[in-house]
Structure 1
Amino acid sequence: MIKWGLTLLLFTFSTAHSQQTIKILSYNIFHGEQAYKKGEPNIDSVAGLINKYKPDLAAFQEVDSATGRSESIYKVHTDFIAELARKTGMHGFFGKAMDYDGGGYGEGLLTNKPARATVKILPTPKGGEPRALIYIDYPLSKKKKIVFAGTHLCHQFEENRIAQVTEINKTFESVKLPVILCGDLNFTPDKEPYRILSTAWNDAAILKGDPQLTFSVDNPKVRIDYAWLKKGHTFKVVDVQVLPYDYSDHKPVLITLEIQ
């Protein structure tokens, strides 16, 4: 009996030890400006949000890097992600989708551990604003990694969004690691891009059973900000919160996951 009890204890410890909990934030930050207070910076508010909730990983959309627009808001050319990393003690990565106003515009990631980022430009067959996908290999532990990705899909053309989710599926189809994709995807769950993405991914809010509206912050009517979990891996969705902050025109989404 003693030997059996010891074996059970070791098995229980091993199972618990192999599960890791991570917290993830996804936020469209309206190029670093308070959406309803023109000319007012929001970086300190966003940094305060991060320091309060302490995500391990964060994905940001509508990110300016050293643009004339950022200078008009902050009175100096500002690399938003680098400055946000400094204010939070995290590691920052910028994924430029396009040149804009003397600098760059695109996606940003923050992580609480060092990593290396890859940036991929997504297709825009109908034209319109360029879009990017940024992703990293994130070390959960010395022996386990996941892939964390962020993107912001086309707001203008459905054909572009379909091409972009198709490209995202292709990008990660052969990846063996667990993959988490976050961002403002500019489609609702009743649209074709959602169906295409759902062939390879699970919608974290649906898994949790409590999807909430994310846009616009002053009068939420749609859910277009998501966390997606690549199928074929063991994710437990502990919590999905749409946070009540008005620093942008989108609400921030906070996701807590257990990964086996």
Structure 2
Amino acid sequence: MKAANFLLYILSVLAFTGCSKVDSELKSEGAGVPGKASVQTTEAAAAATTFKTMSYNIHRGISPVTNTIDLQWIADVINNRNPKPDLVALQEVDVFTDRSGSTINQAKVLAEKTGMYFAFFRAMYYDGGEYGDAILSKYPIRAYYRYVLPANGGEGRSMGMIEVMIDGKPFNFAVTHLDHVSEATRLLQATEINRMVKDFRYPVILGGDFNATPGSSTVTKLKEYMVLGCNGGCPLTASAANPNVSIDHFFYESRGFNRFDYYTIVTQASDHLPLIATWTLK
């Protein structure tokens, strides 16, 4: 176990309580080995201002094709991009649960397989362990936070945020997974996200599974403060076997970023398609 990743996970807990694996990119408009997370390395500081992000609901690594957990396939989806994503927002991640392996921290395993830093953000305790979201980062994680979202009687949900720096410019990258049942609950969660994001010191990009289409009240609420990554014709992200709905998105603050390409990758590694976006810092 690498010391930095182990330390990140422990601090998170203490602080906040066989098929052919060939993937292709579907475009439409609409790493160094982890070290000390508190230090910005010369290599990272010299990285280009242009960077790539991915948002991916990994369904605990269960492929709808094999119906088995295959974290290597998930890692391959990330590693085989050219260029590889610099920041990855993951949803439906298990840590030490009986159903996925009581000794398995899926966030840590994927960090090791991709050579990235990681932070895990619990949404709820589940099946002897924890279930939630995670972020993988090419860049050292300068700080990270977990924010509890209103559940309104449903499953626990949260938003996780990290602070990173590229070209000497700090910014925030965040992940969330909103309620899958109730639009009213999602609207409460979106309202709380807006309230919190307004207090962030640096501009933010937020990726996740919002369980909400571009025309929904939830997305409309989030657009009161942030910009939706797609400008019409948003890529269909679910299901992976038969994409027919756009519910995975990126939102961003226009004060901090310009968004370029925005597309999905066709793969059966999970029941959602991973979403890719490329950005430059202002």
1:30-49 alignment to 2 at 5 Å?
30-38=59-67, 40-49=68-77
Number of the residue aligned with 1:128: 154
Number of the residue aligned with 2:204: 179
**How far, CA to CA, are the matches of 1:29 and 1:121 in structure 2?**
21
**How far, CA to CA, are the matches of 1:193 and 1:173 in structure 2?**
17
Number of the residue aligned with 2:244: 221
Give the Å deviation of 1:220. 1.2
Q: Identify which of 177, 186, 192 aligns with 2:217.
A: 192
- After TM superposition, the runs of 4+ consecutive aligned structure 1 residues lying more than 4 A away are none
Give the Å deviation of 1:189. 1.4
Aligned length: 234
TM-score norm. by structure 1 comes to 0.86
Q: Which amino acid is the alignment partner of residue 48 of structure 1?
A: D
**How far, CA to CA, are the matches of 1:122 and 1:80 in structure 2?**
22
Contact 2:150 2:189 in 1 (8 A): yes
* The structure with more radius of gyration: 1
SS of the equivalent of 1:239 reads strand
Instruction: Find out whether 1:26 has 2:55 as its counterpart.
Output: yes
TM-score norm. by structure 2 comes to 0.79
**How far, CA to CA, are the matches of 1:82 and 1:176 in structure 2?**
28
Q: Which amino acid is the alignment partner of residue 244 of structure 2?
A: K
**How far, CA to CA, are the matches of 2:75 and 2:256 in structure 1?**
31
Q: Which amino acid is the alignment partner of residue 215 of structure 2?
A: D
Number of the residue aligned with 2:173: 148
SS of the equivalent of 2:230 reads helix
**How far, CA to CA, are the matches of 1:248 and 1:33 in structure 2?**
6
Structure 1: give runs of 5+ residues left out of the alignment: 1-16
Number of the residue aligned with 2:27: none
Contact 2:214 2:234 in 1 (8 A): no
Render the CA deviation track for 1:105-156: whole Å, top value 9, x for unaligned: 000100012213211110012x111001000111113x31010000000001
Instruction: Find out whether 1:89 has 2:115 as its counterpart.
Output: yes
1:1-260 alignment to 2 at 5 Å?
20-38=49-67, 40-53=68-81, 54-71=84-101, 77-115=103-141, 116-125=143-152, 127-141=153-167, 143-206=168-231, 210-231=233-254, 233-260=255-282
Structure ranking higher in helix proportion: 1
SS of the equivalent of 2:220 reads helix
